């Protein structure tokens, strides 16, 4: 969790304390499970804390922030005590997409982090004051408890700002948990070691010592087990199963599978009855699908048949579905701060024919989950932000519990998204909707436009410095880091001045923007309104930017926010960027 981003989010939310507890662990054990997020302050040198599958051995006073729903197990060889406060954080009523992104990416309420307080006495005083005020059970006591909560939060944030005060989770347990959740993705063990702050060889040695195999072998076993289940439970062909489980080479998979299970995948599948396929029936005009297996957003989805009712949570998703020929299946559309006018003319009528899902309120700019569920959707398509309770409609798990498949656009849940991710979205939706030929034609057209873009990029000898302005939050500029838009800027021949920030979107100080001296500024427009012009006026009023090349030379340009998220016109907008960059170089 980035300290500055966390402070900004905490400052924006409203906190309600749910419960306060104080207990001892004297040579015994204690367990906690809370449906809310919580702070846990553990005192005692011999305490052991396990959160979910991640064990900690603090060896001293440690302050934990624990995400909601986590099971906490505490033990101690000697004497130890703990204070626990669970809370609910309500997002600001006027949250926009920019704050929604920050809530999702910084995610301070969903993080599990341990720190050593710089001032243990101050943290203890805050906990004691919390306990005392909570016991008053009066309105004034609740107010005093909230004041003590913020005092404890201040100690936590102060420690969070000092990396040396972080207490790391057990590297092996964390790696196991990560691999179980992400086995279908392209996983780098070196990157996991880097996240943990250890060397690859150290992680390897610890893992082998504890688990009896290397992280790579553990990952391979997870993939083989997933493929084994899919062979038994789905009718997808073997190549689809291989791809969905994170494996790539068919021959290598066959060898690994035979070594693991003592038979070939085909031999195993023959042990289970398979429904008679329509193509084997007399008079069948078209082979029936055996089902499609799609990996998306860390989940594997099995589609036994093409979805008949689709809900699109933004116009970009609706435009793609319409272009695939599935327009009649779009049951409803939400705007998500985009506009129907941003869609290509040929698809506007198709998209407009679907039921419009209004925002839940003027403040909360997404439809309610109840409204989406009432559409009887079989597939819900949108950005990753839409499938998170704090920033969107609801968590992905809620949709799945109610029998709705979800599809999140790839470049909205992974860093450094590219045009290839958009192409993969189109191909995947084409497979899901049984419109693969249309998908291939759409991607072919976009690739042809990308070839023209490459020629324009080559003509730009020196990449102009580019700053993206999304919005202003708490007197800071919200901009793109390693998002799909960063790829678009690079493909167009520019250089994003904040491409080194390892988040999709980040708040930066205006002084940092001035030091970067952008030559071109791209301004996001929301909802088809005039906020783009208003943002340009704001930029011109910022004294820090007065001497930047972009402001002096009038190189500020408006782009629809719809077009810098996965969309059919990603390449076309990059072509427009390239034209602006060429104009900048001529001046």
Q: Is 3-168 a domain of CATH 2.60.120.10?
A: yes
Alpha-carbon gap, residue 494 to 506, rounded angstroms: 19
Do the beta carbons of residue 185 and residue 246 sit within 8 Å? yes
Q: Which residues of the chain have pLDDT under 50?
A: 275-288
Strand order in the sheet with 465-469: 495-496, 465-469, 520-525, 556-560
What DSSP string describes 552-563? HTT-EEEEEGGG
Check whether domain 452-586 has CATH 3.40.50.920, yes or no = no
* Residue 51: per-residue pLDDT: 85
Cβ atoms of 373 and 419 within 8 Å: the answer is no
Beta-carbon contacts of residue 512 (< 8 Å; ≥ 6 apart): none
Domain 292-408, CATH = 3.40.50.1980
DSSP character at residue 277: P
- The alpha carbon of 411 is separated from its chain's Cα centroid by a whole number of angstroms, namely 9
- Beta-strand pair 520-525/465-469: parallel
Q: What is the largest CA-CA distance in the chain?
A: 81
> Contacts from 389-394 at CB under 8 Å and sequence distance 24+?
390/91, 390/100, 390/103, 390/104, 390/107, 390/109, 390/110, 391/91, 391/100, 391/101, 391/103, 391/104, 392/100, 392/313, 392/366, 393/313, 393/366, 393/367, 393/368, 393/369, 394/369
**Fold type of domain 170-271:** Arc Repressor Mutant, subunit A (1.10.10)
The token duo for 416 is: 């450094």
Taking the C-alpha atoms of residue 288 and residue 278, their distance in angstroms, rounded to an integer, is: 5
CB 31 within 8 A of CB 59: no
Pairing of strands 476-480, 471-473: antiparallel
DSSP assignment of 325-387: T-GGGEEEE--TT--GGGS-HHHHHHHHTSEE---SSSSS-S--HHHHHTTT-SEEEE-GGGG
Residue 562 CA to residue 527 CA, distance in Å, equals 9
Looking at residue 292, what is its pLDDT? 87
State how far the Cα of 428 lies from the Cα of 333, in Å rounded to an integer. Answer: 20
What does the alpha-carbon distance between residue 359 and residue 232 come to, in Å, rounded to a whole number? Answer: 42
Do the two domains 292-408 and 452-586 of this chain adopt the same fold? yes
Inter-residue contact 557 to 523 (CB < 8 Å): yes
* Strand ranges inside 249-307, DSSP E: 292-296, 299-303
Looking up tokens 């969309």 gives: 567
**Domain extents in the chain:** 3-168, 170-271, 292-408, 452-586
Of residues 108, 103, 90, the one with CA closest to residue 156? 108
CA atoms 388, 394, 398, 404: torsion sign: negative
With a CB cutoff of 8 Å and minimum separation 6, the contacts of 77 are 27, 46
pTM here is: 0.67
Of 543, 509, 537, residue with least CA distance to 523: 537
Q: Which residue has the tokens 């060429």?
A: 582
Residues 542, 546, 549, 550, Cα dihedral to 10°: 40
């Amino acid at each position: 969790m980035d300290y500055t981003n966390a402070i900004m989010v905490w400052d924006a939310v409203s906190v309600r304390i749910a419960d306060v507890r104080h207990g001892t662990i004297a040579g015994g054990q204690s367990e906690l499970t809370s449906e809310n997020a919580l702070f846990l302050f553990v005192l005692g040198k011999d305490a052991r804390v396990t959160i979910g599958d991640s064990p900690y051995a603090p060896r001293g006073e440690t302050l934990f922030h624990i995400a909601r729903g986590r099971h906490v197990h505490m033990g101690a060889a000697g004497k130890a005590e703990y204070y626990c406060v669970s809370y609910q954080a309500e997002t600001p009523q006027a949250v926009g997409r920019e704050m929604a992104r920050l809530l999702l990416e910084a995610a301070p309420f969903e993080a599990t982090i341990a720190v050593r307080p710089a001032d243990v006495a101050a943290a203890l005083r805050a906990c004691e004051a919390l306990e005392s005020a909570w016991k008053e059970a009066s309105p004034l006591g609740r107010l005093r408890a909230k004041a003590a909560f913020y005092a404890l939060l201040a100690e936590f944030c102060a420690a969070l700002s000092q990396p040396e005060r972080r207490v790391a989770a057990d590297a092996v347990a964390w790696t196991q948990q990560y691999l179980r959740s992400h086995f279908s993705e392209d996983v780098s063990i070196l990157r996991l070691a880097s996240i943990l702050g250890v060397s690859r060889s150290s992680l390897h040695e610890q893992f082998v010592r504890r688990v009896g195999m290397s992280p790579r072998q553990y990952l391979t076993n997870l993939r083989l087990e997933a493929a084994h289940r899919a062979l038994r439970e789905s009718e997808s062909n073997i190549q689809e199963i291989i791809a969905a489980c994170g494996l790539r080479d068919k021959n290598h998979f066959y060898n690994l599978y035979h070594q693991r299970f003592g038979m070939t995948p085909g031999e195993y599948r023959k042990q289970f009855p398979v429904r008679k396929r329509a193509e084997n029936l007399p008079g069948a005009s078209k082979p029936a699908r055996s089902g499609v297996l799609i990996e998306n957003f860390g989940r594997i989805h099995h589609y036994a048949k093409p979805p008949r009712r689709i809900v699109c949570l933004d116009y970009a998703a609706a435009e793609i579905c319409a272009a695939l020929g599935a327009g009649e299946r779009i049951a409803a559309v939400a705007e998500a701060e985009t506009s129907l006018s941003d869609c290509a003319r040929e698809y506007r009528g198709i998209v407009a024919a679907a039921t419009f899902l209004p925002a839940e309120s003027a403040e909360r700019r997404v439809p309610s989950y109840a409204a989406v569920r009432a559409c009887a959707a079989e597939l819900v398509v949108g950005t990753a932000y839409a499938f998170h309770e704090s920033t969107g409609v609801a968590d992905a798990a809620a949709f799945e519990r109610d029998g709705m498949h979800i599809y999140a656009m790839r470049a909205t849940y992974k860093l450094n998204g590219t045009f290839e991710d958009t192409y993969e979205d189109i191909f995947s939706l084409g497979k899901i909707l049984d419109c693969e030929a249309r998908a291939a034609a759409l991607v072919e057209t976009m690739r042809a436009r990308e070839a023209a873009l490459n020629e324009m990029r080559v003509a730009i000898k020196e990449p102009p410095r580019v700053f993206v302005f999304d919005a202003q939050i708490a007197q800071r500029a919200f901009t793109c880091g390693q998002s799909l838009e960063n790829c678009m800027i690079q493909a167009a021949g520019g250089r994003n001045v904040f491409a080194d920030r390892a988040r999709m979107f980040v708040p930066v100080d205006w002084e940092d923007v001035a030091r970067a001296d952008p030559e071109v500024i791209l301004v996001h427009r929301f909802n088809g309104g005039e906020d783009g012009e208003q943002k340009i006026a704001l930029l011109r009023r910022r004294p820090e930017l007065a001497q930047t090349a972009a402001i002096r030379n009038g190189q500020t340009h408006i782009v629809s926010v719809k077009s810098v998220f996965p969309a059919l016109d990603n390449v076309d907008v990059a072509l427009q960027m390239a034209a602006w960059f060429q104009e900048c170089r001529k001046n």
